[in-house]
């Protein structure tokens, strides 16, 4: 979804929606597929899967009714591209992965854990920094930057160099800071600088609470006044790595593209994607 949204808004700002013959906008879809192809080429991937969010809410909405509740509805030109993108990804031979009641991030975390047990190394390509909590020796994260093929690449070393905490501690950091985009406040009055200092000194939320009397009066008061929301935010921020899905790695084997792929692009009116695949086919 991060790739699709990024692609849509990159061209929507100048009204370049690139309608196909059926009248369906394709700017987001074409950019999404181009991002996918670029990442595969850069990474030289053996296996590829695409994880999606689904409508209808998740277990986080059951925990906190305000979770993502204030996000505006997608533009009319984007809405039909959600299902269209999945349909096209499937037609091009990619496996779409999702689970009702869970977010794509949860699917990504669950699969990364599963493939780790099979001694496989996973790289996640996204625009969502929440995924960075999954970084470890077996899971790298590439965060999209502006343009195609431009990534900020994270492994455990590069993450610690930038954030000065461990990847899993990002959960505790977000619990204190909250997330305005996702609609939960964390602890009111505690921002990134203070939250980072607390995590660096105490390690996690629970240890901060256990030693709250050591903090300044202002920090202690803020935390004590928001203990319930702090606990809620901690649970909301953590990616669930126990989603009830099974996608064996062999099913994700990447077969590459053929002339049939060009026919698929022609059928869906994907001129940009067709050019990219023609380059790959030489």
pLDDT at 158 (0 to 100): 98
pLDDT class of 280 with cuts at 50, 70, 90: confident
Q: How confident is the model at residue 71 (pLDDT cuts 50, 70, 90)?
A: confident
- Mean pLDDT across the stretch 127-143? 97
Angle at 154 between CA 44 and CA 160, to 5 degrees: 155
Q: Which helix (H) or strand (E) holds 87?
A: helix 81-91
Is residue 279 over pLDDT 90? Answer: no
Please answer whether residues 68 and 182 qualify as being in contact, where contact means their C-beta atoms are separated by less than 8 angstroms: yes
2-14: burial string, b at 16+ Cβ within 10 Å, e else = bbbbbbbebbbee
Residue extents of the structural domains in the chain: 2-164+244-280, 169-237
Q: In this structure, what token pair is assigned to residue 169?
A: 């501690």
Taking 90 as the threshold, does the pLDDT of residue 58 lie above it? yes
For position 250, what pLDDT does the model report? 94
If you average pLDDT over residues 98-110, what whole number do you get? 97
User: What percentage of residues in the chain have a pLDDT greater than 70?
Assistant: 100
Q: What is the mean pLDDT of residues 62-66?
A: 90
% of the chain at pLDDT higher than 90: 82
Q: pLDDT tens digit string along 19-50?
A: 998 899 999 999 999 999 999 999 999 999 99
Instruction: State the pLDDT confidence band at 139, using cuts at 50, 70 and 90.
Output: very high
The predicted structure's pLDDT at residue 274: 92
In angstroms, the CA 26 to CA 215 distance is 53
pLDDT digits (tens, 9 = 90+) for 169-178: 999 999 999 9
Q: Read off the pLDDT of each residue in 103-127 and give the average, rounded to a whole number.
A: 95
Q: What is the pLDDT of residue 109?
A: 97
Pairing of strands 95-97, 139-144: unpaired
Q: Over 90: is that where the pLDDT of 77 sits?
A: yes
Q: What is the mean pLDDT of the chain?
A: 94
Radius of gyration of the chain (CA): 21
Residue 256 above 90 pLDDT?
no
CATH code assigned to 169-237: 1.10.150.20
Question: In the CATH scheme, what is the code of domain 2-164+244-280?
Answer: 3.40.50.1010
Closest by CA to 232, choosing from 58, 72, 66, 55, is: 66
> Does the structure show a pLDDT above 90 at 255?
no
Q: Tell me which residue of 221, 7, 250, 238 sits closest to 105, measured CA to CA.
A: 238
CB-neighbour burial class of residue 247 (10 A; exposed 0-12, middle 13-18, buried 19+):
middle
Q: How far apart are CA 113 and CA 11, in angstroms?
A: 35
Mean pLDDT within 176-182: 92
pLDDT at 56 over 90: no
- Which tokens go with 183? 């609609």
């Amino acid at each position: 979804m991060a790739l699709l949204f990024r692609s849509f808004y990159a061209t929507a700002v100048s009204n370049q929606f690139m309608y196909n013959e059926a009248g369906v906008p394709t700017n987001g879809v074409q950019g999404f597929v181009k991002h996918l192809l670029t990442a595969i080429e850069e990474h030289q991937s053996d296996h590829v899967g695409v994880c999606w969010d689904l409508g209808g809410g998740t277990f986080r909405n059951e925990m906190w009714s305000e979770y993502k509740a204030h996000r505006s509805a997608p533009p009319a030109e984007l809405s039909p591209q959600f299902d269209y993108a999945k349909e096209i990804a499937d037609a091009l031979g990619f496996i779409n992965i999702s689970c009702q009641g869970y977010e794509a991030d949860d699917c990504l975390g669950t699969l990364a854990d599963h493939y780790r047990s099979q001694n496989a190394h996973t790289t996640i390509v996204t625009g969502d920094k929440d995924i960075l909590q999954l970084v470890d020796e077996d899971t790298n994260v590439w965060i999209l930057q502006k343009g195609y093929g431009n990534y900020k690449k994270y492994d455990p070393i590069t993450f610690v160099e930038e954030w000065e905490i461990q990847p899993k501690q990002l959960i505790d950091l977000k619990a204190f800071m909250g997330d305005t985009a996702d609609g939960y406040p964390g602890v009111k009055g505690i921002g990134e600088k203070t939250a980072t200092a607390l995590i660096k000194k105490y390690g996690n939320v629970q240890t901060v609470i256990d030693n709250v009397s050591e903090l300044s009066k202002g920090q202690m008061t803020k935390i004590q006044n928001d203990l319930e929301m702090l606990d809620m935010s901690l649970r909301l921020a953590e990616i669930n790595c126990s989603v009830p899905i099974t996608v064996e790695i062999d099913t994700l084997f990447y077969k590459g593209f053929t002339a049939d792929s060009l026919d698929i692009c022609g059928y869906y009116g994907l001129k940009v994607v067709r050019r990219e695949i023609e380059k790959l086919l030489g």
